[in-house]
C-alpha cells in the first residue's frame, strides 16, 4: 500500500486573500515505510508577497522565491506523483484548499485522492490536548530539533513518524 505524506508552505493563510503555495513536499510511504521517492519544490508565488507572519513561520523571502519554478511547471509531475495514493496531511483542509486553488488557476480538476488528516486523528485520539505537530512530536518522543522553521520536507518527515504512532503501528 503506497501513501504520500504531504505538506505545503504558503505566502499566507487565506486563498481568499490570494495567498499562494511557496513550497510543496511529499514523501512516499510503502507499507508505512518511507521509500526513497520524494517530491519537493520551492515555488514562485507569481507576484504574491509573503506575509510577515508566513515569513516568520518558514523563512522564505520574496527574493528567494522569485527565482523558483512556478506551480504550472511542476503540476503534472506532482499529480503523477500522488496519483492513486492516499494523502496523509496534518490539517488537510488548509493544504488541500491551497492545492485545489492552484489547480483551479490552471483549469485542472480538484484533488480526488483519499485524504487522511492526522489533525483529525489526533483530536479523536487525544481530545482536549494540543495536537499541533510540535505537541505530537513531544508526546511521541520524536526529535524535532531540526525544525527551527516550518519547512515542507522536515514537516513531512516528522509527520511520517507521528502518523505511525497515531495509528499504533510503531
By annotation, the residues acting in catalysis are 150
H-helix or E-strand containing 153?
A: helix 152-166
d(C-alpha 76, C-alpha 37), whole Å? 16
d(C-alpha 71, C-alpha 65), whole Å? 12
What are the DSSP calls for 28-72, one per residue?
EEETTEEEEEEEEEEB--TTPPPPHHHHHHH---HHHHTTSBPHH
- Using a 10 angstrom Cβ sphere, with 0-12 exposed, 13-18 middle and 19 or more buried, the burial of residue 69 is exposed
H-helix or E-strand containing 81?
A: helix 71-82
Residue carrying C-alpha cell 510503502 = 30
Q: Which residues contact 28 (CB under 8 A, 6 or more apart)?
A: 2, 3, 4, 34, 35, 37, 38, 81, 85
Amino acid at each position: 500500500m503506497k501513501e504520500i505524506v504531504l505538506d505545503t508552505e504558503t505566502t499566507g493563510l487565506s486563498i481568499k486573500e490570494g495567498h499562494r503555495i511557496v513550497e510543496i513536499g511529499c514523501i512516499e510511504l510503502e507499507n508505512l515505510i518511507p521509500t526513497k521517492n520524494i517530491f519537493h519544490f520551492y515555488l514562485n508565488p507569481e507576484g504574491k508577497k509573503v506575509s510577515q507572519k508566513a515569513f516568520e513561520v518558514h523563512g522564505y523571502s520574496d527574493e528567494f522565491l522569485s527565482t523558483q519554478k512556478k506551480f504550472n511547471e511542476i503540476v503534472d509531475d506532482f499529480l503523477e506523483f500522488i496519483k492513486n495514493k492516499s494523502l496523509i496531511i496534518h490539517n488537510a483542509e488548509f493544504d488541500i484548499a491551497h492545492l485545489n486553488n492552484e489547480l483551479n488557476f490552471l483549469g485542472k480538476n480538484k484533488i480526488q485522492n483519499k485524504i487522511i488528516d492526522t489533525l483529525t486523528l489526533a483530536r479523536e485520539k487525544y481530545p482536549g490536548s494540543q495536537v499541533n505537530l510540535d505537541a505530537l512530536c513531544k508526546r511521541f518522543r520524536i526529535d524535532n530539533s531540526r525544525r527551527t522553521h516550518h519547512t515542507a520536507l522536515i514537516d513531512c518527515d516528522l509527520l511520517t513518524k507521528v502518523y505511525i504512532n497515531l495509528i499504533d503501528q510503531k
